[in-house]
């Protein structure tokens, strides 16, 4: 019968289907073996690789005879160290920038500063946007990781805003400096514009390279030079997310994000505390602030407090400062500026998070709160990881330099190490005196400090494996 036949066929199909070996569906969490897959590790590798490629290109350009004053070209270490310092927007030098490099070499240094401050991947992505007018997923992920942007979809708009902000600030500061150089110091139009542009770019990108052998010491008492540089350093150090939010919501502080409020509050506190500390310690020092008037001392103290976060100019002789001032500058350099900007250091947000964690533990709180908001545990782990890796790198590098240079004191070596790692560029005058091995240590620190310990560690780490089980929990004694 038709009905019985249909039931029999249905039963046969079920039995046949049950007897077939089932294919194992791939789990969603199983990692793809496609080398083109954009994973966190691959993202870090691409950023580090792009940075290294740009560094090689800059070194090759500085090795050309046309880049150096006099016959022949620069040595490899001179070119490599200068290119690294410029790309990492640090400012440490082993040769005198205005007398050793030709205008071509100075232009190469300036280009490396601009690319390094803006971000290698971000710079390449902007060029792609301008030429192709579209942005692929991989480029969005790379740029988002480099600029610390929370999303991928609007990266085109984010990068163009960053570019516009950079050009506007640098143009305004360059114009102010050029006018002062021309009106106050008798520079010709071309020289005034070149000096204004170079120092504006160097200041906004927190690089600290100067076209003067004594950096800004010849202008230590001139507010028309100091204040534009301070403004550029502070704006670059706040970070692009803060600048963009202030532009949109500057009339409504209650709508500011936690990141913006932390960066602004910490910046005001650190600038004020640094100014008071440096001015008080160096007030009577005849080699630094001693010969100046009271208002000039405050200006120089304010300038040096700002520069420590993390530009690298100096309006007073750093090598003649009191060792206590060096220690204070160590702390300011290590903290640095805001995230997703041109400043270096461990970032003010990292230290605020650590301070809030400590406060919560001391007071017996259940959750870590900052400015009326609860911090996620991932942010707490990330802040702790950054500080632990950074302190480990600083301690290891300092010990290596102590072994290589037993004739140099710990305070000067530690100052040099922190300045390199925090990409500041301040020095007590020992950079050029270090051995090639010692300078190599500083190169590694600048590279690590600019890209970030987590980025470099992720790029070098082995492929992560998913844990299939957890070990029993136990609490060791702390403290």
pLDDT tens digits, one per residue of 223-233: 999 999 999 99
CA angle 269/271/274 to nearest 5° reads 100
Distance of alpha carbon 247 from alpha carbon 454, whole angstroms: 30
Phi and psi at 427, nearest 5°, equal -150, 150
Taking alpha carbons only, the member of 463, 412, 456 closest to residue 438 is: 412
pLDDT tens digits, one per residue of 337-347: 888 778 888 88
Q: 3-state DSSP call for residue 22?
A: coil
% of residues, the chain, pLDDT over 70: 80
What residues contact 95, with CB distance under 8 A and at least 6 apart? 74, 78, 82, 101, 432
pLDDT tens digits, one per residue of 280-325: 999 999 999 999 999 999 999 999 999 998 888 999 999 999 999 9
Distance of alpha carbon 88 from alpha carbon 336, whole angstroms: 14
Q: Looking at the predicted structure, is the pLDDT value of residue 29 above 50?
A: no
Peptide bond into 310 cis (omega under 30): yes
102: left (phi over 0), alpha (psi -120 to 50) or beta: beta
pLDDT band at 6 (very low <50, low <70, confident <90, very high): very low
Question: Average per-residue pLDDT in the chain?
Answer: 83
pLDDT tens digits, one per residue of 364-403: 888 888 888 888 888 888 888 888 989 999 999 999 999 9
Residue 7: count of CB within 10 angstroms of its CB? 11
Cross-strand bridge partners of residue 370: 373
Distance of alpha carbon 14 from alpha carbon 420, whole angstroms: 71
> How, if at all, do strands 369-370 and 373-374 pair?
antiparallel
Q: Measure the N-to-C terminal CA separation of the chain; round to a whole number of Å.
A: 85
Taking alpha carbons only, the member of 89, 92, 313, 122 closest to residue 205 is: 89
Q: What is the pLDDT of residue 369?
A: 86
pLDDT band at 42 (very low <50, low <70, confident <90, very high): low
Most confidently modeled range among 32-41, 121-130, 143-152, 379-388:
379-388
Q: What is the pLDDT of residue 345?
A: 87
pLDDT tens digits, one per residue of 162-176: 888 889 999 999 999
Q: Looking at the predicted structure, is the pLDDT value of residue 423 above 60?
A: yes
């Amino acid at each position: 019968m038709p009905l019985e036949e249909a039931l029999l066929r249905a039963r046969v199909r079920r039995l046949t289907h049950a007897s077939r070996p089932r294919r194992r569906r791939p789990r969603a969490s199983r990692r793809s073996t496609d080398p083109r897959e954009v994973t966190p590790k691959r993202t870090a590798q691409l950023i580090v690789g792009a940075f290294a490629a740009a560094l090689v290109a800059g070194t090759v350009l500085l090795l050309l005879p046309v880049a150096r004053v006099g016959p022949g070209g620069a040595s490899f270490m001179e070119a490599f160290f200068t290119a690294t310092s410029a790309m990492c927007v640090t400012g440490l030098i082993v040769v005198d920038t205005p007398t050793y490099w030709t205008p071509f070499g100075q232009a190469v240094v300036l280009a490396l500063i601009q690319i390094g401050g803006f971000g290698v991947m971000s710079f390449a992505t902007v060029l792609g946007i301008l030429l192709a007018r579209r942005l692929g997923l991989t480029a969005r992920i790379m740029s988002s990781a480099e600029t610390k942007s929370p999303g991928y979809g609007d990266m085109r708009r984010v990068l163009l805003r960053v570019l516009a902000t950079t050009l506007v600030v640098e143009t305004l500061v360059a114009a102010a400096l050029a006018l002062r150089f021309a009106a106050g110091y008798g520079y010709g139009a071309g020289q005034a514009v070149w000096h204004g542009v170079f120092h504006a770019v160097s200041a906004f990108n927190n690089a600290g390279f100067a076209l003067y052998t004594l950096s800004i010491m010849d202008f230590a008492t001139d507010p028309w030079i100091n204040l534009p540089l301070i403004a550029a350093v502070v704006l670059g150090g706040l970070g692009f997310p803060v600048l963009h939010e202030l532009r949109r919501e500057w009339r409504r502080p209650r709508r500011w994000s936690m990141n913006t409020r932390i960066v602004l509050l910490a910046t005001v506190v650190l600038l004020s505390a640094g100014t008071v500390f440096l001015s008080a310690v160096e007030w009577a020092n005849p080699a630094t602030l001693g010969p100046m008037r009271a208002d000039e001392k405050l200006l120089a103290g304010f300038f040096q407090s700002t520069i420590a976060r993390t530009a690298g100019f100096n309006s007073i002789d750093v090598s003649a400062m009191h060792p206590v001032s060096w220690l204070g500058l160590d702390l300011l350099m290590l903290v640095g500026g805001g995230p997703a900007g041109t400043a270096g250091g461990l970032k003010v947000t990292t230290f605020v998070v650590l301070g809030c964690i400590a406060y919560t533990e001391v007071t017996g709180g259940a959750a870590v709160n900052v400015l009326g908001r609860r911090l996620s545990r991932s942010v707490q782990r990330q802040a702790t990881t950054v500080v632990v890796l950074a302190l480990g790198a600083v301690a290891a590098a300092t010990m290596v330099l102590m072994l290589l240079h037993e004739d140099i004191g710990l305070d000067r070596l530690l100052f040099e190490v922190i300045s390199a790692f925090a990409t500041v560029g301040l020095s007590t005058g020992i950079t050029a005196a270090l051995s090639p091995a010692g300078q190599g240590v500083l190169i590694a620190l600048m590279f690590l400090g600019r890209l970030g310990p987590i980025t470099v560690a992720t790029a070098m780490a082995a492929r992560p494996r998913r844990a299939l089980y957890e070990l029993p929990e136990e609490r060791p004694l702390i403290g």
